[in-house]
Amino acid sequence: MSERKDFLRTIVEEDLKAGKYKEVITRFPPEPNGFPHIGHAKSIAINFGIARDYNGHCNLRMDDTNPTTEDTKYVEALKDAIEWLGFEWHGNVRFTSDYFPKLYEYAITLIKMGKAYVDSIDEEEMREFRGTVTEAGKRSKYGERTVEENLDLLERMKKGEFKDGEHVLRAKIDMSAANMKMRDPLLYRIRHAHHFRTGNEWAIYPMYDFAHCLSDYIEGISHSICTLEFENNREIYDWVLDTLELEPPRPYQYEFARLGINYTVMSKRKLLELVEGGQVNGWDDPRLPTIAGYKRRGYTPESILTFCDQIGIAKANSMVDVAQLEFCIRDDMNPKVPRVMCVLDPLKVTIENYEGSEEIDASYYPDDVPKEGSRKLPFSREIYIEREDFSETPPKGYFRLTPEQPVRLKHAYIISCKEVIKDDNGRIIEIKAEYYPASKSGSDTSGIKVKSAIQWLDAKAAKTVEVRLYDRLFSSEAPEGVEDINPNSLEVIENALIEPAVINEKPDERFQFERQGYFYADPIDYSDENPVFNKIVGLKDSWGKKKKSPKQEQKPQAKKEQIDGEVAAMSESEQARYDRYTSELKLNSEVANTLARDEKLSSFYEEALSTLHSPVALANMVSNEVARELKENDVDTLKFSAKQVAELVRMLDEETISGKIAKQVFEEMVKSGENPTQIVEAKGLIQISDPAIIAPIIDEIIAKNPDNVAKFKAGNTKLLGFFVGQVLKSTGGKANPKVVNALVAEKLH
């Protein structure tokens, strides 16, 4: 179970304690009109997760009330996704269409109770009669129909005697209700369409508001969990179940915030457009946020579930950074997968003083990964290295091979460049090199200093593979559609080279290609004759800092911990720190690694920790902000102390200041050495959380942007971020983003 108890679990526990239900029964109710995406994963994790945590069960129900868009292939995709994520639905897959006869009976009951009627006005009149938010609506004259008339018409609607749109069945509630949804909502509509399960049996189909609550009741659901956009539908949900006076217990609806992720689109409709428009290669294209896409790309179910757990369950919509998901997959694979060498853009190197051949024994795992296993690396005088790992005119800080600078071949020898061979166009085609026999990795007595270790492959033994480098499908943070597609989202490298052991021994399906990233053997296109690997994710977030070139990620910068194989091992004390940080203090491995390996940082961290027990927030501050300062300076030359950093984090924890302001305050501390509290007070940086102050600012921004309001109302929910951003901007980053989010969502709905 997750560590924090979310508001849904709190409700469930209270209901169980009060004896409201014998068992917790939830359901996941997708409409089979597209492949499930990461947003569905969140809903799956919540519904199945809660059932699992409280020994109940969760049903899988296809909400198949819209015959024109639904299909069995989507049913299969939904089943696959749930199984892959590691959950099991209770009994058979259920279908709302299984309940059509029962729902029809309930409709008859409502008519007989005088609580439903057949309306026959056209769409335009219906809109007109509904009224507005400020004006009551009025019921059409058909509201006066007798029970007999209504029963007769409904039956004939069912039999198909009328055309689409000629009549509808409506609940008779209140045409002046404040909640517009309660103004006689539609219960049934006529649809002459073929349904993928019931065929042409029905000419009428129940509306969501009628079918959903009753399907929940029929299945004995206790907690009906859905997303926020159904908040106003809750009243109908309750009305239907209460009006029918059903035997208790009945289900209740609870809403949570929909997951949105930047750099992607998430509605099934938009995904369908990409698939049908050929912008991607099918629903399982690894660039899509579909579960099938993630699965094919090589994401693990664990990483997706960890992500869902990390983002938590909120009551206000917000946008999650895709980098967080990428972080979860890295974090999952780092301690698991073998490290191997792959060269994407080969450059030949002839080691002129090497004769014969040998096989070098090399572990698949670095020292900090508690797994065993090794392979043989063939080595001879002709090898390939990555073209980028040689530079004739190196920029400052280039740690790899140059005419003057030797480099280590990972797991093998140190080489230096003797001669650069070029073709007629001046392109480098070969390096003549020399190796140092005494420099062999593990028994190096050469005394030669190198700054990095690079990947390489024996020319004769290397295998050719296809590598598919995926990048974000959209280059815009809040993409609208096709026009925002990143033209470099897929790069296929047909002739990359890889170690023979990867193909022959198949130690795993997922690998870290040293210095390149994490890769996965494509589950569909991979064969021994034509091996194909998908890039799952790079070794570190390359978008956070540089958003310019999507290719940047491949260009390994001088990253000490990854390049320099020889310094990878942690000392005993570093290891002990690392273990404590990850297990006891629950730091993620990347942060723990940064802190544990750096004496200055870790002692700073521990000192701060002794004043404030907020391990994760402190670790983030120390491994980012403080680390930047400590890189160039010694602790005693810093103007700020660990205690002050703790004070800063405390304000952050208590939500006195926002994350953005915290960074600003830190900059100030670096310069002036003043106390964070003083800085915050003097500059009036205290976070504004009072809705009474924030609300008028939102109103103003809404008034100033009528076009965006209209777009939002027309369904472009991504614009929520725009409004939130504007509010934060106009308060200089001082408004509490959570409060702003909730208020903006409330005002726009």
Task: List interacting residues with ligand ATP (CB under 6 A).
Answer: 29-31, 39-40, 42-43, 226-227, 258-259, 266-268
Q: How far is CA 556 from the centre of its chain?
A: 25
Taking the CA atoms of the chain, what radius of gyration do you get in angstroms?
Answer: 31
CB of 237 closer than 8 Å to CB of 253: yes
CB of 612 closer than 8 Å to CB of 646: yes
Q: Which of 79, 258, 315, 600 is catalytic?
A: 258
- Helix, strand, coil percent values for the chain (each to nearest 5): 40, 20, 40
User: What DSSP element (H or E) covers 269?
Assistant: helix 268-276
Which residue, 120 or 227, has its beta carbon nearer to ligand ATP? Answer: 227
Which residue, 268 or 296, has its beta carbon nearer to ligand ATP? Answer: 268
Contacts of 524 (CB under 8 A, 6+ apart): 296
User: What DSSP element (H or E) covers 75?
Assistant: helix 72-84
Q: For residues 38 and 41, give the distance between their C-alpha atoms in angstroms, rounded to a whole number.
A: 5
Annotation marks residue 472 as catalytic = no
Torsion sign (Cα): 201, 204, 208, 211: negative
Cβ neighbour number for residue 551 with a 10 Å cutoff: 12
SS3 378: strand
Q: Minimum distance between the CB of residue 177 and ligand ATP, rounded to whole angstroms? A: 24
Q: Minimum distance between the CB of residue 39 and ligand ATP, rounded to whole angstroms? A: 2
Query: DSSP assignment, residue 166?
Result: S
Which residue, 62 or 454, has its beta carbon nearer to ligand ATP? Answer: 62
Q: Minimum distance between the CB of residue 295 and ligand ATP, rounded to whole angstroms? A: 18
Q: Which of 9, 139, 183, 268 is catalytic?
A: 268
CB of 591 closer than 8 Å to CB of 623: yes
CB of 166 closer than 8 Å to CB of 130: no
Contacts of 683 (CB under 8 A, 6+ apart): none
Phi, psi torsion values for 205, nearest 5 degrees: -130, 135
Tally of CA atoms within 13 A in the half-sphere of 710 that contains its CB: 4
Q: Minimum distance between the CB of residue 78 and ligand ATP, rounded to whole angstroms? A: 8
CA distances 91 to 36, 55, 65, 263, 747, Å, are 21, 15, 21, 37, 42
Q: Which residue is nearest to ligand ATP (CB)?
A: 39
DSSP string for 593-654: HHHHT-HHHHHHHHHHHHH---HHHHHHHIIIIIHHHHHHS-GGG-SS-HHHHHHHHHHHHT
Which residue, 271 or 377, has its beta carbon nearer to ligand ATP? Answer: 271
Q: Minimum distance between the CB of residue 268 and ligand ATP, rounded to whole angstroms? A: 3
Q: Minimum distance between the CB of residue 737 and ligand ATP, rounded to whole angstroms? A: 19
The pairing of beta strand 414-422 with beta strand 456-458: unpaired
Annotation marks residue 31 as catalytic = yes
Terminal C-alpha separation, the chain:
33
Angle at 199 between CA 195 and CA 205, to 5 degrees: 50
Which residue, 317 or 489, has its beta carbon nearer to ligand ATP? Answer: 317
DSSP string for 94-155: EEGGGGHHHHHHHHHHHHHTT-EEEE---HHHHHHHH--SSS-----GGGG--HHHHHHHHH
Q: Which of 13, 31, 302, 561 is catalytic?
A: 31
Q: Minimum distance between the CB of residue 195 and ligand ATP, rounded to whole angstroms? A: 17
Annotation marks residue 189 as catalytic = no
CB of 239 closer than 8 Å to CB of 182: yes
Catalytic site residues? 31, 258, 268
